[in-house]
Structure 1
Amino acid sequence: MPELLFPLDSTRRFTDQEKVGHNRWHPAIPPAVTVRPGQCFRVHCREWFDGAIHNDDSAEDIRDAPLSVVHALSGPFAVQGAEPGDLLIVDILDLGPIPQEDSGPLAGQGWGYTGIFARRNGGGFLTEQFPDAYKAIWDFRGERATSRHVPSVSFTGITHPGLMGTAPSAELLAKWNQREGALRATDPDRVPPLSLPPEPRDAILGSLSGADFDRAAAEAARTAPPRENGGNQDIKNFTRGTRVFYPVYVPGANLSVGDLHFSQGDGEITFCGAIEMGGFIDLHVDLIKGGMQTYGVEENAVFFPGNTPPQYSQWLAFSGLSVTTEGEQRYLDSQLAYQRACLHAIDYLTKFGYAPEQAYLLLGAAPIEGRLSGVVDIPNSCATVYIPTEIFDFDVRPSARGPARINPGQGAPRARF
Structure 2
Amino acid sequence: MAPLTPRLVVPVDVKKQPWEQKIPLHNRWHPDIPPVADVTEGELFRVEMIDWTGGRVRDDNSADDIKFLDLTITHYLSGPLRIVDSEGIPASPGDVLAIEICNLGPLPGDEWGYTAIFERENGGGFLTDHFPSARKAIWYFEGIYAYSPQIPGVRFPGLTHPGIVGTAPSLELLNIWNEREERLAENKSKKLLNCIQEGTAEWHKIANEAARTIPGRENGGNCDIKNLSKGSKVYLPVFVEGANLSTGDMHFSQGDGEISFCGAIEMSGFLELKCEIIRGGMKEYLTPVGPTPLHVSPIFEIGPVEPRFSEWLVFEGISVDESGKQHFLDASVAYKRAALNAIEYLSRFGYSKEQVYLLLSCCPCEGRISGIVDSPNAVATLAIPTAIFDQCSYAD
Q: Same fold (TM over 0.5)?
A: yes
Q: Distance in 2 between matches of 1:283 and 1:328?
A: 48
Structure 1 pair 297/280, CA: closer, same or farther in 2 (3 Å)? farther
- Say if 2:346 and 2:394, in contact at 8 Å, map to a contact too: no
Question: For residue 387 of structure 2, what is the amino acid of its counterpart?
Answer: E
Q: Distance in 1 between matches of 2:102 and 2:315?
A: 34
Question: For residue 311 of structure 1, what is the amino acid of its counterpart?
Answer: R
Corresponding residue for 1:64? 68
Question: For residue 214 of structure 1, what is the amino acid of its counterpart?
Answer: H
Corresponding residue for 2:192? 204
Question: For residue 368 of structure 2, what is the amino acid of its counterpart?
Answer: R
One of 70, 78, 82 as aligned partner of 1:78: 82
Corresponding residue for 2:221? 231
Q: Distance in 1 between matches of 2:73 and 2:281?
A: 34
Cα distance, 1:10 vs structure 2: 2.6
Cα distance, 1:51 vs structure 2: 0.7
Corresponding residue for 1:241? 231
Partner SS state of residue 98, structure 1: coil
One of 345, 360, 364 as aligned partner of 2:361: 364
Structure 1, residues 269-292: CA drift from partner, whole Å, max 9, x if none?
000000000011101001110000
Question: For residue 288 of structure 1, what is the amino acid of its counterpart?
Answer: I
Cα distance, 1:297 vs structure 2: 4.4
Structure 2 length normalisation: TM-score? Answer: 0.94
Corresponding residue for 1:153? 154
**1:181-330 correspondence runs (5 A):** 181-182=182-183, 184=184, 195-196=185-186, 199=188, 201-209=189-197, 210-298=200-288, 299-330=296-327
Structure 1, residues 142-201: CA drift from partner, whole Å, max 9, x if none?
11010111110000000000011000000111111111113x3xxxxxxxxxx435x1x3
Cα distance, 1:110 vs structure 2: 2.1
Corresponding residue for 2:167? 166
Q: Distance in 1 between matches of 2:165 and 2:234?
A: 10
Corresponding residue for 1:8? 12
Q: Distance in 2 between matches of 1:258 and 1:71?
A: 8
- Say if 1:76 and 1:254, in contact at 8 Å, map to a contact too: yes
Structure 1 pair 280/297, CA: closer, same or farther in 2 (3 Å)? farther
Q: Distance in 2 between matches of 1:144 and 1:125?
A: 26
Q: Distance in 2 between matches of 1:280 and 1:211?
A: 34
Cα distance, 1:398 vs structure 2: 2.7
Question: For residue 97 of structure 2, what is the amino acid of its counterpart?
Answer: L
Q: Distance in 1 between matches of 2:204 and 2:168?
A: 18
Corresponding residue for 1:334? 331
Structure 1, residues 246-287: CA drift from partner, whole Å, max 9, x if none?
000000000000000000000000000000000111010011
The two structures, once aligned, show a CA RMSD in angstroms of: 1.0
Corresponding residue for 2:120? 119
Q: Distance in 2 between matches of 1:205 and 1:305?
A: 31
Question: For residue 169 of structure 2, what is the amino acid of its counterpart?
Answer: P
- Say if 1:318 and 1:386, in contact at 8 Å, map to a contact too: yes
Gaps of 5+ in 2: 85-89, 289-295
Q: Distance in 2 between matches of 1:374 and 1:9?
A: 46
Question: For residue 361 of structure 1, what is the amino acid of its counterpart?
Answer: L
**1:395-410 correspondence runs (5 A):** 395-399=392-396
- Say if 2:169 and 2:239, in contact at 8 Å, map to a contact too: yes
- Say if 1:291 and 1:297, in contact at 8 Å, map to a contact too: no
- Say if 2:313 and 2:395, in contact at 8 Å, map to a contact too: no
How high is the sequence identity, in percent, across the aligned residues?
Answer: 51
Cα distance, 1:63 vs structure 2: 0.6
Q: Distance in 2 between matches of 1:230 and 1:260?
A: 15
Aligned length in residues: 378
Cα distance, 1:66 vs structure 2: 1.1
Corresponding residue for 1:384? 381
Cα distance, 1:202 vs structure 2: 1.9
Question: For residue 186 of structure 2, what is the amino acid of its counterpart?
Answer: L
Structure 1 pair 297/288, CA: closer, same or farther in 2 (3 Å)? farther
Structure 1 length normalisation: TM-score? Answer: 0.89
Partner SS state of residue 119, structure 1: coil
One of 67, 79, 100 as aligned partner of 1:91: 100
Q: Distance in 2 between matches of 1:398 and 1:92?
A: 37
Cα distance, 1:397 vs structure 2: 3.5
Question: For residue 164 of structure 1, what is the amino acid of its counterpart?
Answer: V
Q: Distance in 1 between matches of 2:38 and 2:278?
A: 18
Cα distance, 1:396 vs structure 2: 3.4
Structure 1, residues 358-395: CA drift from partner, whole Å, max 9, x if none?
00000011010000001111100110000000000112
Q: Distance in 2 between matches of 1:219 and 1:131?
A: 32
- Say if 2:107 and 2:269, in contact at 8 Å, map to a contact too: yes
- Quick check: 1:45 aligned with 2:49? yes
Cα distance, 1:79 vs structure 2: 0.6
- Say if 2:349 and 2:394, in contact at 8 Å, map to a contact too: no
